[in-house]
Chain A
Amino acid sequence: MSAKLDPRTKLYMILVVSAVVMMSATTPLLWGVRIAMTMIPLILLVAEKRYASALRFTILYAIALVLTFRFLSEESTGIVESLLIGYCGIAVQFLPALITAWYVVRTTKIDEFMSAMQRMHVPDGIAISLAVVMRFFPTIKEEYASITDAMKMRGIAFGGGRPSKMVEYRMIPLLFSCVNIGDELSAAAITRGLGGKVKRTSVEELHLRVFDWLLILAFTAAAGIFVVFKYIL
């Protein structure tokens, strides 16, 4: 059985995980729930054969967890410890959301996404803008890589002695090329009928399968546990 999920399930996952990372885990039970929630997108990444990123995230998350629980406490002092607390705190807190978002962006086709948005009666304007954002991630990555190359060639990868320039030199060409690409992209999409008054169809048929419902249930339960144990009990 393929582990292909409905984009609506994926969006729901993002929603729940983002909400949960904003609530701090205080008891072992909550920690357990939170770690279990992080495992799910990791397993899904493996199921989609994205071993490299799954491994990288697992190691990163594991290191942060081990450091937090084993070596750091509220009594830690010293520069190294305080820096580590900062980094690990952020990693442990927000990595779950990052992993889930990564999984969703990497495994959802634009077409599926558009179709899901339509099913949920999201206005076209919003759906198209979000789709363009998704379409843009790989483009930005490509452009960024060439710009970094160009900077290395000029010996200004680190700002040529002026750290403040490091960001400027990177951002200006990146913004220019993204604006240009975006402009050409919209022109091309419009000539192929995007944004018309007719109702868009989609060859991607969306069905919420058993697996989708199970995940939705699991995530709802997790969110429920967090809310109940933190705010009600």
Chain B
Amino acid sequence: MSENFIKIKHVHFKYKGSEKGLLDDLSLTIPKGETLLLTGASGSGKTTIIRLINGLIPHYYQGDLEGSISVAGYDIVKTELYELAGVVGTVFQNPRSQFFSVDTDGEIVFGPENIGMETGKIKERKQDIVSEMHIEKLMGRSLFELSGGEKQSIACASVAALLPEIILLDEPSSNLDQGAIGNLREVIKRWKAQGKTIIISEHRLWYLKDLVDRVIYMETGKIRHEWSGWEFAAMDSEKVRSLQMRPLKVSDILASDFAGSDIQTQEISDGVVLKDFYFSYNRKPYLIRKKKFQQNDEGLSLCIPKLTLPKNTVIGVIGHNGTGKSTFLKCVCGLEKDCHGIIETDGKEYKGKERLKICYMVMQDVNHQLFTDSVQGEVLLSMEEEDKERCDQILQSLGILEFKEKHPMALSGGQKQRVAIASAIAADAKLMLFDEPTSGLDFCHMEKVGGLLKSLADAGNTVLVATHDPELIELCCDYVLCIENGRVGYLRVVERS
């Protein structure tokens, strides 16, 4: 048992083209069968360790590497990547970019085919994995129509199909909701029971705390702390907070019933009123005239006859993956043409395309909404009339004035998000919508986003934020709006202890 399975000795690493070293004299040994959690702020070197073990460093991501790494008897530097395929398996963060096939069956057999396994054996293997992971109902489908959680299940299955002894997971829960994280937890538990060596890099800690044998806290390329599993599980929240980690315990805020008091929407006298928001993805084919969606239509993906949102507050939008949160956001800001809802605020009605003018959505992938070649240009593009002074003010208030001349794509993820927010402010959007702004962020960045959302609300905006992070709701939301099957489940006040 105490046999050292993975040995990393005095490793220094620096990515090609970057000035700062990412790993600084790092040594780490991992015995066979251990479940190890790597945590720490973004950029502390967690992902780099994962890449060292699966050989992507130095074979795919190049840089200056010193020191030695041996995994299951293979010297990583001298081993070709395909030789490691049956030894180390990796589940990546982003489910949409780790698929090679377009269908679920093809994806699971992809690995075994690559290593030249016999076809009869592959089929058997596939059957075993499918029944072991209970994903029978996902078979024979296109990967592009699966939800985030389902995609991650397929990713786990396709990694497991190679029967690797070592399984690496790089922030696997980033795009998952509570239910899907529960499934992921079960998968990890099963792997652990099978005696696999598991290494997880993760910010979300609550679902792992009683699964892991050892926890390593990274800081600027070094191991700063090390705890055994039980020490970690028993850690008090003060200490967790002081280390800038995400909480180990989260209240059941996202479970189906969030314990707060219902607010009667009639009570809100001055609010943003949403009326007649109906939408469906499976519209009946039409020949001549488009029929408007009605409240009584069957199979509506969104059905909100009337909803009053309290003004100048942060409202968390929760609900399971695929329950209509994103649809809700898209319909509110007028991106779904066929949804004819009306927004009423300050005694004015906004219909159709007018909605786009008072709403602004910051997307989950902000790369999609940055178009120009400088941060300043990005903000000016949103203004009706270019006003450089106001642009500077906005950038100043978000703390990104120093990047004014930089190309938005050269910034970090958090900075890009701020640029998108800056253009939202410049566009005078009163209703700001955020789609999962904190997925994959460490606690420090999450706190910053929370503060930012609050200050946006204080400045007179109404902020709707769709999220899977209970931590974020505790940080900044005044209300929680639960969407269930496209309908409003409840709107409740967040009561803080």
Q: Which A residues are closer than 8 A to B by beta carbons? A: 109-111, 131, 134-135, 138-139, 142-143, 146-147, 149-156, 160, 168-169, 172-173, 176-177, 180-181, 184-203, 205
Report yes or no: B100 in contact with A110, Cβ–Cβ below 8 A: yes
Contact of A152 among B56, B162, B335, B367 (CB under 8 A): B335
Contacts of B85 in A (CB 8 A): 191-193, 196
Report yes or no: B371 in contact with A172, Cβ–Cβ below 8 A: yes
Report yes or no: A147 in contact with B368, Cβ–Cβ below 8 A: yes
Report yes or no: B368 in contact with A194, Cβ–Cβ below 8 A: no
Report yes or no: B335 in contact with A198, Cβ–Cβ below 8 A: no
Contact of A110 among B54, B102, B126, B365 (CB under 8 A): B102
Report yes or no: B101 in contact with A110, Cβ–Cβ below 8 A: yes
Contacts of B382 in A (CB 8 A): 154
Closest to B337 in A: A152
Known contacts A111-B109, A192-B162, A193-B111, A187 near B423 by CB under 8 Å: no
Known contacts A109-B106, A190-B81, A176 near B116 by CB under 8 Å: no
17 contacts between A and B (CB under 8 A): A109-B106, A111-B106, A131-B100, A143-B368, A153-B356, A153-B361, A153-B369, A173-B367, A173-B370, A185-B100, A187-B56, A189-B100, A190-B60, A191-B54, A192-B162, A194-B100, A202-B119
Contacts of B116 in A (CB 8 A): 196, 198-201
Contact of A192 among B111, B360, B369, B372 (CB under 8 A): B111
Report yes or no: B109 in contact with A160, Cβ–Cβ below 8 A: no
Contacts of B112 in A (CB 8 A): 201
Main secondary structure on A side of the interface with B: helix
Closest to A128 in B: B100
In this assembly, does B194 line the interface, its C-beta being within 8 Å of a C-beta of chain A?
A: no
Known contacts A198-B116, A200-B114, A201-B117, A177 near B368 by CB under 8 Å: yes
In this assembly, does B115 line the interface, its C-beta being within 8 Å of a C-beta of chain A?
A: yes
Report yes or no: A191 in contact with B110, Cβ–Cβ below 8 A: no
Contact of A109 among B97, B102, B356, B372 (CB under 8 A): B102
Q: Which B residues are closer than 8 A to A by beta carbons? A: 54-56, 59-61, 80-86, 88-90, 92, 94, 96-103, 106, 109-119, 122-123, 126, 144, 158-159, 162, 330, 333, 335, 356-357, 359-361, 363, 365, 367-372, 381-382, 409, 423, 427
Report yes or no: A195 in contact with B371, Cβ–Cβ below 8 A: no
Contacts of B92 in A (CB 8 A): 184, 187-188
Known contacts A192-B85, A200-B113, A138 near B102 by CB under 8 Å: yes
C-alpha gap A152/B61 in the complex (Å): 37
Report yes or no: A203 in contact with B333, Cβ–Cβ below 8 A: no
Report yes or no: A135 in contact with B101, Cβ–Cβ below 8 A: yes
Using a Cβ cutoff of 8 Å, how many contacts connect chains A and B? Answer: 170
Closest to B83 in A: A196
Which of A110, A131, A169 has the most chain B CB atoms closer than 10 A to its own CB?
A: A110
Closest to B360 in A: A153
C-alpha gap A185/B335 in the complex (Å): 29
Contact of A169 among B96, B335, B371 (CB under 8 A): B371
C-alpha gap A143/B365 in the complex (Å): 10
Known contacts A110-B106, A191-B90, A149 near B335 by CB under 8 Å: yes
Report yes or no: A191 in contact with B96, Cβ–Cβ below 8 A: no
Contacts of A181 in B (CB 8 A): 96-97
Report yes or no: A146 in contact with B363, Cβ–Cβ below 8 A: yes
C-alpha gap A149/B359 in the complex (Å): 13
Contacts of A155 in B (CB 8 A): 356-357
A109: min CB distance to chain B, Å: 5
Known contacts A160-B381, A188-B100, A203 near B119 by CB under 8 Å: yes
Known contacts A188-B98, A191-B56, A156 near B81 by CB under 8 Å: no
Report yes or no: A146 in contact with B365, Cβ–Cβ below 8 A: yes
A58: min CB distance to chain B, Å: 15
Which of A142, A154, A184, A195 has the most chain B CB atoms closer than 10 A to its own CB?
A: A154
Contacts of B80 in A (CB 8 A): 196
C-alpha gap A155/B427 in the complex (Å): 10
A30: min CB distance to chain B, Å: 35
A178: min CB distance to chain B, Å: 10
Contacts of B361 in A (CB 8 A): 153
Report yes or no: A203 in contact with B97, Cβ–Cβ below 8 A: no
Known contacts A153-B356, A203-B122, A173 near B369 by CB under 8 Å: yes
Contact of A191 among B89, B103, B359, B372 (CB under 8 A): B89
Known contacts A189-B100, A192-B85, A156 near B409 by CB under 8 Å: no
